[in-house]
Amino acid sequence: MTLRHETALSVADWVVRADGPWPVLATQGPPGLDAYATVHFDGEDADPYRPDPDVVALVTRLAAEHTTTPERCWFALWEGWGELEGGGRVYAEMDPHRLFGRLFRQPPPLEVAPAFDRPVLDAPRADLGGERAYLLCTGTVADVGDWGARPPRPGWPADLPQASFTWPADHAWCIASDVDPAWFTVGGSRGLVDAVLAHPDLHAEPATHGSPPPSGDVSTGPD
């Protein structure tokens, strides 16, 4: 199935209005869960602005076994990704894992379509401390990554970056992936975190909510 736009912003209050500084919430999600783990995106040369959404999707699918509401989940997409609004851009790569490469000044930019219709793009966003704002979508855990986005150009894939936050209706866990870091956080039950730490395809380590992130301070996003 395809994710659907969520207009009830209050569903995100659990995350965006949680107790804590916004950089901690943006990178680690809400406090109070039983355990947390940091998961690193693969490769020393991974671009933190365009990390691999498949890694987040893998963790999301693992998390499906640790919630009573896998059929009712929410996905928060950062409003700053250029793919949302479209416009004139040139992209150097067509990697299926990272749709857009680095931006070049020449040749003249290609016109790419916005990812969603104007009613969705113009809708109110969930706000995190005035520093981050998110478009909300809802669906099942199995829908992860299926944003229902419009292809930017004919024949191009309609991929978008990973969700900044993913959580189920029972609040059993939260996956937080902020804009800049080459890592993200999963918080939930001890069983979920143990499954993430033990998975052979994940580079993960235990984390403590509120502790300094592996790469230091959080910046404010790509220029």
Is it the case that residue 70 has pLDDT exceeding 70? yes
Give Rg (Cα) of the chain.
17
Give me the phi and psi of 36, to 5 degrees please. -140, 150
Mean pLDDT of 153-180: 90
- pLDDT computed for residue 219 by the predictor: 37
Which residues are CB-neighbours of 79 under 8 A, at least 6 positions away?
Answer: 125, 133, 134, 135
Domain parsing of the chain, residue ranges? 4-207
Integer Cα distance of 44 and 66 in angstroms: 30
32 touches 171 (CB < 8 A): no
Model pTM score: 0.84
Model confidence band, residue 213 (pLDDT cutoffs 50, 70, 90): low
